[in-house]
Structure 1
Amino acid sequence: MTYWEDRAKEIIDEESKSDYEIAQEIQRIVDEMNEDIEDEINRFYARYAIKEGISFIEAKKKIDAVDVQMFQQKAKQYVENKDFSDKANAELRAYNTKMYVSREKLLQAQLGLIVTYAFAQIEQSMYNYMESAYYRALEQQAGILGETLQVSINDVKTIIFTPFKGHKWSTRLWSDMDVVRRHVQKTTRHVLLRGRHPYEFVKDLRKDTGSTSYNARMLLLTETARVQTLASKRHMLDQHGEDAEYEFVAKMDERTSKTCRSMNGKVFKVKDMIPGVNAPPMHVWCRSAVVPYVGNWRDKFFAERKGKYNLSKFTE
């Protein structure tokens, strides 16, 4: 095994540890979202429920202006207290401008705001993680060859938001949010207005949002692999030119995919590096890596100098 292959395996192990930490962060946000939804539903139920549950008439009653004001203030604080993306802020601000005429509609809005806020946090965490992953990739490549780093923040943003397979990761994330938000609001209405206890809804919610956490982690780790591949490509081209080569190094264990196993050890031109084609990610959850390919420099060194030097005159 070459030095470069050893270094690639170290990089893969380092990234696995970082991936675990961000996965825990995403799960924390989703768990907090579930708890907030549960609290909101329980408050609603305790306030308006009768023996048979929440009656249709009670749910349709006009809401108190104070309730609306408190809710809109909460939405405003979410926007002011966090440096979210333009998309996230637009989604959150929408709750300040809508009119709510019934208790049912206000509850749906409250739950929708909780979901939106959670996804805004997930988006922010994902961006921050991909940004740090970009810098880690540059440091790893520079560390391999003992080079210095020159980084433009615009380059980082461009790579992070480059579409992969026709879509931006942030667009995929907000599409998932729409699905979760609609599901939460629809299920809440069915549960509460049919006399069922909120516990039944919460139990189903935690089951459904398990896929939310899974999908977010899958999206993040796949996109992070893409970001790091493009960071490595840019660095190799800048430092070594278009004739530079790289080696595909797979994480070899019992879970290694057939695709990555077949790619392991193959060498390509850096200028031809394309994520999903001949570089990570080759599939979701892909944790393969790329490293500079130097080849056997000793053979090349002596081959280029063969016949140029006569050592006989130095012999005794």
Structure 2
Amino acid sequence: TKETRNSITKNAKRIVLASFYSATFAQRIWANQTKLINRLSEGLERSILQGENPGAWARNFRDLLTKEMADTGKENALYAANRIAVTETARVQSETAQESFRKGGFEKMIWITEMDERTCGVCGPMDGEIFDVDGAQIGGELPPMHPFCRCSVAAYYERDSEALE
């Protein structure tokens, strides 16, 4: 519905502009770089609202980064654009999921690690861990733990073992 879409957009913007490790979204990227911040914010909204792959809009974001990082080369700009796009999208998705769990009445969530040859030593042991929804923080009980983190969380409900009998 239109009301749901407006609510999601409002929450996504609130989360994007929230403080993270004592710095706001804008401060973490570049101070006073309105054009870059707007482009990144638009990309994050497309990822969250339309399911667009962060890599798709990161290529457009790269062009702006190339201008800002002219002396470091296009490869560095593309890498930085991809890192920011993927990691910020993961952060917004985690915080949106956490808010959804709260609204759905869930008190717990389960950590899901993408287990393969690329799984890092930080995220591997987190797979299947159960955390409280309230008080969970990015980089602690909520992914991403690091740039390019592929982990996620899901609502968790502990069934009463007696009810299963």
TM-score where L is the length of structure 2: 0.67
Instruction: Tell me how far 1:162 sits from its aligned partner.
Output: 1.5
* C-alpha separation in 2, matches of 1:182 and 1:268: 40
With over 3 angstroms needed to count, the CA separation of the structure-2 counterparts of 1:291 and 1:277, relative to structure 1, is same
Aligned residue in 1 for 2:45: none
Deviation string for 1:57-92 (max 9, x for gaps)? xxxxxxxxxxxxxxxxxxxxxxxxxxxxxxxxxxxx
The answer on whether the counterparts of 1:173 and 1:216 sit within 8 Å (CA) in structure 2 is no
Instruction: Tell me how far 1:174 sits from its aligned partner.
Output: 3.3
With over 3 angstroms needed to count, the CA separation of the structure-2 counterparts of 1:150 and 1:252, relative to structure 1, is same
The answer on whether the counterparts of 2:111 and 2:127 sit within 8 Å (CA) in structure 1 is yes
Aligned residue in 1 for 2:79: 214
Partner letter of residue 273 of structure 1? A
- 1:234 partner SS: helix
- 2:23 partner SS: coil
Give ranges in structure 2 of 5+ residues lacking alignment: 37-63
Deviation string for 1:243-298 (max 9, x for gaps)? x1100010001111111101111001111321111110011100101011123x36
- Structure showing greater radius of gyration is 1
- Equivalent pairs: percent with the same residue? 26
Aligned residue in 1 for 2:23: 167
* C-alpha separation in 2, matches of 1:284 and 1:170: 17
1:157 and 2:9 aligned: no
Deviation string for 1:107-129 (max 9, x for gaps)? xxxxxxxxxxxxxxxxxxxxxxx
* C-alpha separation in 2, matches of 1:298 and 1:172: 44
Query: Structure 2 matches for 1:257-296, cutoff 5 A?
Result: 257-295=120-158
Partner letter of residue 299 of structure 1? S
Query: Structure 2 matches for 1:120-269, cutoff 5 A?
Result: 152=7, 153-174=9-30, 181=67, 184=70, 208-240=73-105, 244-269=107-132
Instruction: Tell me how far 1:154 sits from its aligned partner.
Output: 2.3
With over 3 angstroms needed to count, the CA separation of the structure-2 counterparts of 1:250 and 1:164, relative to structure 1, is same
* C-alpha separation in 1, matches of 2:79 and 2:86: 11
The higher-RCO structure (CA 8 Å, 6+ apart) is: 1
Deviation string for 1:174-211 (max 9, x for gaps)? 36979965764xxxxxxxxxxxxxxxxxxxx6x71210
Query: Structure 2 matches for 1:57-72, cutoff 5 A?
Result: none
Give ranges in structure 1 of 5+ residues lacking alignment: 1-148, 185-204, 304-316
With over 3 angstroms needed to count, the CA separation of the structure-2 counterparts of 1:213 and 1:179, relative to structure 1, is closer
Partner letter of residue 277 of structure 1? G
The answer on whether the counterparts of 1:169 and 1:223 sit within 8 Å (CA) in structure 2 is no
Instruction: Tell me how far 1:161 sits from its aligned partner.
Output: 1.6
With over 3 angstroms needed to count, the CA separation of the structure-2 counterparts of 1:183 and 1:158, relative to structure 1, is closer
The answer on whether the counterparts of 2:110 and 2:129 sit within 8 Å (CA) in structure 1 is yes
Larger strand percent: 2
* C-alpha separation in 1, matches of 2:132 and 2:69: 47
TM-score where L is the length of structure 1: 0.37
- 2:154 partner SS: strand
Larger helix percent: 1
* C-alpha separation in 2, matches of 1:173 and 1:272: 25
* C-alpha separation in 1, matches of 2:127 and 2:91: 17
* C-alpha separation in 2, matches of 1:157 and 1:227: 9
